[in-house]
Amino acid sequence: MEEKCCVWCGQFVKGRSDKRFCDDGCRNAYNNKMNRVSNQYVREVNNILKKNRNVLLTVLGEEKTTRISGDHLLREGLDFNFFTNLLENGKGQTYSFVYEYGYLPLGNELFLIVKRGV
């Protein structure tokens, strides 16, 4: 019978013939290292989306809708390039949403901020 070594630490592996790791710690460490690079981009995008959501939440407050300048949104840290989905209303206007919070360009650097009911 062939002796197998742990892919992560090199120790002898007991058990099934297709077992690659000596324990869960080595398996987790190996997979975390392998996924670190690919997950980095996802983490960066998620952080931007979270920040955008917090900006819209803060600006809207307890109101159902509000109007605000694009400069104000930029100063608060909103990145207009990152949103979760687009929604077109019956008038043909397209809202950009970050989860449940959306914004609609009104012209003259003004934006309508809304919260979608879930």
Closest CA to 65 of 10, 107, 31, 106: 106
Residue 23 reports pLDDT greater than 80 = yes
| pLDDT above 90: percentage of residues in the chain | 80
Q: What is the pTM of this model?
A: 0.74
Work out the pLDDT band at 77, boundaries 50, 70, 90: very high
Residue 118 reports pLDDT greater than 90 = no
Average pLDDT over residues 83-111: 96
pLDDT of residue 39: 82
CA 100 to CA 11: how far, in whole Å?
A: 50
Q: Which residue has the higher pLDDT, 79 or 117?
A: 79
| Block residue for tokens 């207009």 | 80
Work out the pLDDT band at 47, boundaries 50, 70, 90: very high
